[in-house]
């Protein structure tokens, strides 16, 4: 059949015509002539901006091929749309063609027997489709349309803009269409080399009061706030801007967000990032020939969903960032005090019985300057007045708040909330008002939310001035031992040290005062004017955090108090300098004992066992009891300090938080930690969890018992590392040979200690299991060390990082970039050798 003409490749004018007179004839056209195959052929939009073709995303994509669209003239290729993201072609012979039978685009495998991907068959239109055309428009939209249908050029049989991937191009709609049932949202790629459907989504939830959400899996992590006629309630700063214009359409048929670039020669896109919890607006910078980050959302912690829980407002410039609204109090004051706000606030006085028996027993309090609460369960009438809205709310017992839907002019419409009011942010300028239902007795209390904040420290720091005149410390509330259970109004208990005092105390950070150098910066010994000895950690300036975030983190960490943690005495923030001031430990770190021939004799078995148990308890506190769930991420002998009684104290906890790592299980770009202590999943994939700390703890236990370094230890005849050696000795029933020879001739060899030592080795091996799920939690470890409640411990399996070469190769091979960002081998508080 000669009616298919050859497709003119690499010519700007791109479409395939199937000049037939009826669908019946079209049905007969199989197999279709390919539009493009994956052999480097591409389709280009008329103006040359966009290009459609097969691509291979990256080195680790196994050569998988995907059909995608990208900017043709940008050297740093950024694929903005992928057709077969979840069904890659595995060979080079696949092709794109039009399936004329069901009027769709299809990607078929090289042997033509498998359809890898198909655009949805288009609904049969009421007129006959005479000639199908696939075209890549200048907007980057791949469309399938009827060549002869000139009635409405915007109506396509199918368009790629209806099926976004991770990128929102100018002119694309984000949102839903009740006629077609489409809900267009972005979904991140799985990884930079893998376009398959990832975890992060951004879209508009179908609800009465439309607003955008971002999800990780099924969990929300950001909400835009309802639209208010001008923009999103949660982004009052989004106004007319020089780069793009935007619109929100909200009518019976459609709800969507869309933007256009004001200057069409600029290139700017919105991308759902696949690694961080971010939606980013990128812009192509012609001068630097790179993609620059123009904006990203969430912008701060208060943008994270429900940071402060119900009936609380979040304001990043304040400390703490969360505050209960007037008339509400924290649900769990202890948790609130610990900066764990997610439980939120509850009413100080309950609402009266509903429906009320008397009149005027309740009313509404107006709050202003807010991002409106989660509108998932709200009700809307766009024509009601505010007065009608109030009555509507009063008539329904489950109504908790109301406000105008549209804030333009005097405001119009009615939005009503049912249930708890969650996820409110407070703005210093902009923001909306809301009327919250209150018992009559609360109505007199201020009409406006004024954040009566504990100002002293924050003010001083925000202002950056006045600090010097405030004396030696500024205590907001001096919290010393003994009163840690009292709960005051203020939340700040962290003394601030003045820079010049620190400079004096450390002899201007002189080398002779230097205690060690860590991944986060050097540590100096200091003697304050009053004779108090301190250790000053001078943080390297690349924490990537703002001052307020830094402060928040430091305050959090300062609240962690446990006898097996080094006490944070205060901090010093001045200019670019950020320092943490700790209590000074005269015996310095554990490694200066256990790895030193002479000093190791000072640690008999009893002391070593106490040290192991102390570290375990400190770590348990960090993981579980502190409620902050701190993952240390760099536990090792040089980060365990010994006090006068040789009791262990963990140092450097929480620094990963300060340096922008997430808390809880997660994945991180910045692998902090030390070779020889890192769990396999952390070293290789940056996956950290409490279980990666357990791994490091296991190493530490083996080191304390054996007096040998995890790294740098080689068994004579094999390349076994300490773990491998311990595993071998265990299997050969010679576990006790692992014990430090410094313990010979000591009481440790007395028979009553042997079971305890074996139990320690056993626990250590369980902690260094290859798979995180095989390792015990610290709570279990503490029980195991204490005798296991009389139960036998499970037998260990072969541990992770068995041979010394393994972790190293693994890190270099699979994540060389991470190795560079890893901290150096010897970190904080490490004594220079030989001192």
Ligand X SMILES: *[C@@H]1O[C@H](CO)[C@@H](O)[C@H](O)[C@H]1NC(C)=O
Q: How far apart are CA 509 and CA 212, in angstroms?
A: 50
Q: Spell out the residues 6+ positions from residue 335 whose beta carbon is closer than 8 angstroms to its own.
A: 341, 343, 627
60 binds ligand X (CB under 6 A): no
266 binds ligand X (CB under 6 A): yes
384 binds ligand X (CB under 6 A): yes
Give yes or no: 542 in active site. Answer: no
Three-class SS of 494-562: CCECCHHHHHHHCCCCCHHHEEEEECCEEEEEEECCCCCEEEEEECCCCCCCCHHHHHHHHHHHHCCCC
The two beta strands, 521-527 and 514-518, are antiparallel
163 binds ligand X (CB under 6 A): yes
Q: Which residue, 147 or 746, has its beta carbon nearer to ligand X? A: 147
Helix (H) or strand (E) holding 27: helix 23-27
DSSP annotation of 56 reads -
276 binds ligand X (CB under 6 A): yes
Of the residues 118, 122, 545, 815, which one makes contact with ligand X according to CB under 6 A: 118
DSSP annotation of 275 reads S
32 binds ligand X (CB under 6 A): no
Q: Shortest approach of ligand X to residue 437 CB, angstroms?
A: 13
251 binds ligand X (CB under 6 A): no
303, 634, 652, 740: which is the annotated catalytic residue? 634
Q: Which residue, 19 or 794, has its beta carbon nearer to ligand X? A: 19
Q: Shortest approach of ligand X to residue 9 CB, angstroms?
A: 21
Q: Which residue, 144 or 672, has its beta carbon nearer to ligand X? A: 144
Q: Shortest approach of ligand X to residue 657 CB, angstroms?
A: 18
Q: Count CB atoms within 10 A of the CB of residue 391.
A: 12
List of E strands, 546-612 = 568-574, 577-583
123 binds ligand X (CB under 6 A): no
273 binds ligand X (CB under 6 A): yes
DSSP annotation of 823 reads P
Q: Which residue, 398 or 510, has its beta carbon nearer to ligand X? A: 398
**The two three-digit tokens of residue 272, written as one number:** 């759902």
CA angle (647, 652, 656) in 5-degree steps: 145
396 binds ligand X (CB under 6 A): yes
Q: Count CB atoms within 10 A of the CB of residue 371.
A: 27
Q: Which residue, 388 or 718, has its beta carbon nearer to ligand X? A: 388
Stretch that binds ligand X, among 118-126, 341-349, 601-609, 821-829 (CB under 6 A): 118-126
Q: Tell me what percent of the chain is helix, strand and coil, each rounded to the nearest 5.
A: 25, 25, 50
299 binds ligand X (CB under 6 A): no
Instruction: Give the residue ranges of DSSP H helices in 313-451.
Output: 333-337, 386-395
Q: How far apart are CA 62 and CA 41, in angstroms?
A: 21
Of the residues 23, 33, 138, 147, which one makes contact with ligand X according to CB under 6 A: 147
398 binds ligand X (CB under 6 A): yes
Is residue 49 a contact partner of residue 141, using CB atoms and an 8 Å limit? no
Give the total of residues touching ligand X (CB under 6 A). 35
Is residue 40 a contact partner of residue 47, using CB atoms and an 8 Å limit? no
Q: How far apart are CA 331 and CA 343, in angstroms?
A: 6
131 binds ligand X (CB under 6 A): yes
Q: What mask of x and - would describe binding to ligand X in positions 71 to 90, judged by CB under 6 A? A: -------------------x
Q: Shortest approach of ligand X to residue 114 CB, angstroms?
A: 4
- The closest alpha carbon to 16, from 198, 187, 107, 144, belongs to 144
**The two three-digit tokens of residue 488, written as one number:** 């005051």
Of the residues 41, 87, 92, 109, which one makes contact with ligand X according to CB under 6 A: 109
Check residue 96 and give left, alpha or beta (phi > 0: left; psi -120 to 50: alpha).
beta
388 binds ligand X (CB under 6 A): yes
Of the residues 29, 143, 144, 271, which one makes contact with ligand X according to CB under 6 A: 271
146 binds ligand X (CB under 6 A): no
122 binds ligand X (CB under 6 A): no
Stretch that binds ligand X, among 56-64, 378-386, 439-447, 523-531 (CB under 6 A): 378-386
285 binds ligand X (CB under 6 A): no
99 binds ligand X (CB under 6 A): yes
Q: How far apart are CA 159 and CA 168, in angstroms?
A: 14
Please give the residue ranges that form the binding site for ligand X (CB under 6 A): 19, 90, 99, 101-102, 109, 111, 113-114, 118-121, 130-131, 147-148, 163, 263, 265-266, 271, 273-276, 280, 379, 381, 383-384, 388, 396, 398, 418
- What amino acid positions are annotated as catalytic residues? 634
């Amino acid at each position: 059949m000669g009616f298919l003409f050859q497709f003119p490749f690499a010519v700007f004018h791109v479409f395939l015509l199937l000049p037939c007179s009826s669908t019946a004839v079209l049905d007969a056209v199989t197999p279709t002539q390919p539009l493009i195959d994956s052999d480097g052929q591409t389709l280009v939009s008329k103006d040359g901006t966009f290009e459609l073709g097969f691509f291979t995303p990256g080195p680790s994509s196994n050569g998988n091929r995907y059909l995608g669209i990208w900017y043709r003239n940008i050297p740093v290729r950024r694929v903005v749309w992928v057709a077969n993201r979840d069904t890659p072609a595995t060979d080079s012979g696949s092709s794109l063609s039009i399936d004329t039978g069901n009027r769709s685009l299809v990607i078929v495998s090289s042997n033509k027997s498998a359809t890898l991907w198909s655009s949805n068959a288009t609904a049969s239109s009421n007129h006959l489709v005479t000639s199908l055309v696939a075209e890549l428009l200048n907007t980057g939209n791949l469309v399938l349309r009827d060549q002869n249908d000139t009635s409405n050029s915007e109506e396509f049989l199918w368009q790629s803009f209806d099926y976004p991937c991770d990128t929102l191009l100018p002119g694309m709609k984000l949102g839903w269409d009740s006629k077609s049932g489409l809900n267009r949202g972005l979904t991140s790629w799985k990884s930079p080399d893998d376009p398959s459907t990832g975890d992060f989504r951004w879209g508009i939830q179908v609800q009465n009061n439309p607003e955008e959400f971002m999800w990780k899996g099924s969990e929300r992590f950001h909400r835009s706030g309802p639209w208010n006629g001008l923009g999103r309630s949660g982004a009052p700063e989004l106004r007319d801007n020089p780069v793009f214009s935007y619109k929100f359409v909200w009518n019976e048929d459609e709800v969507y967000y869309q933007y256009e670039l004001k200057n069409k020669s600029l290139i700017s896109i919105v991308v759902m990032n696949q690694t961080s919890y971010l939606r980013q607006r990128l812009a192509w910078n012609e001068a630097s020939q790179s993609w620059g980050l123009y904006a990203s959302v969430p912008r701060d912690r208060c943008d994270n969903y429900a940071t402060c829980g119900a009936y609380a407002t979040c304001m990043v410039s304040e400390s703490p960032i969360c505050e209960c609204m007037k008339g509400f109090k924290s649900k769990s004051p202890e948790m609130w005090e610990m900066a764990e706000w997610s439980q939120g606030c509850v009413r100080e006085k309950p609402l009266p019985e509903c429906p009320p028996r008397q009149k005027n027993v309740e009313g509404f309090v107006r709050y202003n300057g807010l991002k409106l609460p989660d509108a998932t369960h709200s009700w809307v009438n766009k024509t009601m007045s505010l007065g009608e809205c109030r009555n509507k709310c009063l008539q329904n017992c489950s109504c908790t708040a109301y406000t105008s839907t549209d804030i333009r002019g005097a405001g119009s419409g009615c939005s009503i909330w049912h249930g708890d009011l969650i996820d409110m942010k407070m703005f210093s300028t902009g923001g909306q008002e809301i009327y919250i239902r209150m018992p009559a007795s609360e109505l007199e209390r201020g009409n406006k939310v004024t954040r009566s904040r504990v100002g002293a420290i924050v003010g001083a720091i925000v202002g950056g001035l006045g600090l010097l005149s405030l004396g030696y410390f500024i205590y907001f509330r001096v919290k010393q031992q003994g009163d840690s259970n009292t709960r005051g109004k203020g939340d700040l208990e962290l003394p601030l040290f003045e820079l010049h005092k620190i400079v004096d105390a450390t002899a201007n950070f002189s080398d002779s005062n230097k205690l060690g150098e860590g991944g986060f910066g050097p540590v100096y010994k200091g003697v304050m004017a009053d004779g108090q000895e301190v250790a000053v950690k001078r943080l390297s300036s690349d924490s990537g955090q703002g001052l307020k975030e830094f402060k928040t983190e430091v305050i959090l960490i300062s609240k962690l108090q446990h006898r097996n943690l080094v006490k944070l005495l205060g901090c010093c923030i001045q200019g670019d300098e950020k320092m943490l001031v700790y209590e000074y430990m005269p015996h310095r770190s554990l490694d200066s004992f256990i790895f030193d021939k002479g000093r190791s004799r000072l640690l008999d078995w009893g002391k070593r066992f106490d040290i192991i148990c102390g570290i375990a308890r400190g770590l348990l506190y960090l993981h579980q009891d502190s409620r902050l769930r701190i993952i240390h991420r760099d536990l090792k002998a040089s980060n365990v300090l010994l006090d006068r009684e040789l009791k262990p104290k963990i140092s450097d906890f929480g620094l990963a938080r300060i340096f922008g790592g997430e808390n809880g299980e997660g994945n991180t770009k910045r692998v902090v930690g030390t070779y020889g202590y890192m769990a396999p999943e952390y070293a290789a994939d940056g996956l950290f969890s409490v279980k990666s700390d357990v791994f490091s703890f296991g190493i530490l236990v083996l080191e304390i018992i054996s007096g040998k370094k995890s790294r740098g230890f080689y068994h004579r005849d094999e390349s076994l590392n300490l773990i491998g050696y311990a595993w071998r000795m265990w299997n050969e029933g010679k576990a006790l040979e692992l014990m430090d020879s410094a313990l010979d001739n000591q009481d440790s060899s007395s028979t009553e200690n042997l079971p305890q030592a074996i139990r320690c080795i056993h626990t250590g091996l369980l902690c260094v299991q290859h798979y995180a799920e095989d390792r015990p939690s610290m709570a279990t470890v503490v029980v195991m060390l204490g005798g296991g409640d009389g139960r036998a411990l499970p037998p260990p399996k072969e541990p992770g990082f068995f041979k010394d070469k393994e972790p190293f190769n693994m890190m270099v091979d699979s994540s060389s970039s991470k190795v560079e960002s890893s901290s150096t081998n010897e970190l904080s508080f490490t004594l220079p050798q030989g001192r």
